[in-house]
Amino acid sequence: MLEPMIANRIVPLVVGCSLAAATDAVAQTDIPSTMLHDGQMRSFIVRLPPGFSADASHPLVLALHPALSSGASFQSSSGWDAVSDLHGVVVVYPTGGVPVGAQGGFAWNSWAFGGEAPDDLGFLAALIAAMHASYGTDPCRTSMTGFSNGAMMTNSFVAVHADKVAAIAPVSGGWITAYGGSEAELTPAHPVPVWTWRGSNETFVTGVGKNARPRNQQDQEQLAFWVSHNAASLVTTVSEQLTYGFPRTYLTSIHAGDAPVWFTEVQGTGHHYQPGAADLIWNRFFSQIKQGAGDCLRCPTDFNGDGATDGADLGMLLGAWGASHESIDLDGDGVVAGADLGLLLAAWGPC
């Protein structure tokens, strides 16, 4: 359990400095910090954008490192610092609670839902609350991404704390069933916007014992889970030539439902936080989704979760016309009909 006197306080690792107010630290771009959780001192780095103000309700992104790494290492390689600087995003790079390897690396205690130590689920939830309290970040625009073991932890977190993030983007992470767990353990409280990424060359085997299997198979299982959970169906598949370093083909399948599910495979790449992922995830996904977290009420007419009531939502309503569809039956009378159309048109525009 988080120590009650520290639950909403974060302490920068600056000699002689305490965080009585976020404005004490705004002169710094990167703030190495610690917080006590479950009897352990946990570390993380806060990246503040230029012109940061605690009164501005900046978006918040948590970026989770892979195994054998740390928050500081992922900060240097993920590309999220550039997003912070360009778009006014507060980015937090926490470090996992499992020491691994001989070089001082760490991992996340992913797929651990039974209270096993270290309590990474609880730490991340407490960290989000502390960020909102100390830096004034926006609970409606809080998202999480991670790479490899960090992607596994991202899926683990939203399975328990879907109310604390608006969207997730796991990149090149293994799936629960390859590690001895069951998808029945994944019970997000509501549909969650998800953008899953992989490299086309990720065909190696990971997992534990007889459950281990190729990563491409695990990625398809992950996609199938989120499509089912979000009651989504395929809308289109887009092939793009994008240049991050040099040109590559990005194949993205877009599924719409109670919340969007996107799945991108970057051709010719291996096990990386995929080229351009931070830039694309922010500009095309996280920045467009502004509901479904914390105390924010989901925009009920935004059926596909893109942050607005528009033609795509109208199409989904018309497609369900005359049926009993709980998420589209806005007036709750048991059938999608004219009254629901009227409510949708009245809410037209950004949520």
47-90 pLDDT tens trace: 999 999 998 889 999 999 999 999 999 999 999 999 999 999 99
Percentage of the chain exceeding pLDDT 70: 87
pLDDT at site 290: 64
Tens digits of per-residue pLDDT, 92-111? Answer: 999 999 999 888 899 999 99
For 215-228, what is the mean pLDDT?
98
Is residue 308 predicted with pLDDT exceeding 80? no
> Residue 82 has which token pair?
């550039």
pLDDT at 219: 98
Q: Where are the domains of the chain?
A: 11-288, 308-350
The residues, ordered by sequence, that sit 6+ positions from 196 with a Cβ below 8 Å of its Cβ are 169, 170, 171, 219, 222, 223, 226, 261, 262, 263, 264
Examine the pLDDT at 10 and tell me if it is beyond 60: no
Strand-pairing partners, residue 146, are 64, 170
Query: 2: number of CA atoms within 13 Å, CB side?
Result: 20
Beta carbons of 274 and 263 less than 8 angstroms apart: no
Instruction: Pull the structure tokens for residue 107.
Output: 């991992």
Cβ atoms < 10 Å from Cβ of 72 = 15
What is the torsion angle, in degrees rounded to the nearest 10, for the CA atoms of residue 94, residue 171, residue 78 and residue 116?
Answer: 20
Residue 303 CB contacts under 8 Å (≥ 6 apart), including other chains: 256, 257, 258, 312, 313, 316, 317, 327, 328
Q: How far apart are CA 222 and CA 230, in angstroms?
A: 12
Whether 9 has a pLDDT exceeding 60, the answer reads no
The pLDDT mean for the chain works out to 88
Cα(274)–Cα(302) distance, integer angstroms: 29
Please determine, looking at this structure, whether the domain spanning 11-288 carries the CATH number 3.40.50.1820: yes
Contact 301, 340 (CB under 8 A): no
**Is-contact 61 80, C-beta < 8 A?**
yes
Alpha helix segments (H runs only) across 1-148: 71-78, 80-87, 120-135
